Structure 1
Amino acid sequence: MAEPDSTNTLIGSDGFELHPADETAILRQLEHYEQPQAACIDALKIVQQRHGWVPDAAIPAIARVLGIGPGAVEGVATFYSLIFRQPVGRHVVLICDSSSCFLTGFDELKQALVDQLGIDYGDTTDDNRFTLLPVCCLGACDGAPALMIDNDTYGPVAPEDLPGLLEGYP
């Protein structure tokens, strides 16, 4: 995930206005779809890329650009597990708790992460380096137990692999 960039963000009367480059990027995404709702995930990802998460006040701004209701954007934002609705650390660690991972060492891996990071699900380390979240499936059953750090998927991961993996994410 890129470092959040709050510079050049315009603040509107509702507390949030899209950065002009983000609005342009969202409008470009709209060109790829027949229905504006189909560009919703792309639009949310664009905002998240700049800020690190999607603030509540961004929802109506995204809806205005897409030409759809804020409820439609909110529905996608709350359903899609990789859209973060509150601030997260510089790196997000997603640990897969699917059946395959659960049967191949999830409990030990989760406990090792909790112990090493000193946080539990939904928490962020004091240095704002890592946020730990569960995910219902990473689609990496052949490498269970699996986890994802930012956009990188790892598996199978043993507890003793964690120090080396985490070290790569300053």
Structure 2
Amino acid sequence: MNSRSDDESLAMRAAAVAAELKAHGRVLALAESCTGGWIAKVCTDLAGSSAWFERGLVTYSNRAKSEELGVRAASIQRYGAVSEIVAAEMARGARNAAHADFAVAVTGIAGPEGGSPDKPVGTVCFGWVGPEDEPETETCLFSGDRDEVRRETVAHALDGLLTRI
């Protein structure tokens, strides 16, 4: 795929999320690490996003995850910043901070460096939380360069949200 068709694909996903959130009168918040605000950008590229998009927090450092989202330092120390536990805490923290109905969190290793045998480059943990308060999590291993890993992360985050609204 070329970059333009990839961007259009992400825009279509965001539009589908927007339609569902608006139809249900719901509001979204985001907590992003490895995507650096890319999910928020795709969402706010849509005209009228202020009706359903509350805020996006880029919490790249461990300190930011703790300070902005309430992620427990013990969770980061025990499981690592790239873990489903931390993704769940990020999602819950974003939802609570924004008083939103839904939140999505992503934390991962986009590369090209930073991976380990247990968590190779391309490992991304997702957290989705809705009004019911129990986050759902998933870990994916994406391939490709840094940009491709991040693009796949954005797509998967939006797809996962769409199935949970």
TM-score by length of 2: 0.30
Structure with more relative contact order (C-alpha pairs < 8 Å, separation 6 or more): 2
From the two aligned structures, give the one with the greater strand fraction.
Answer: 2
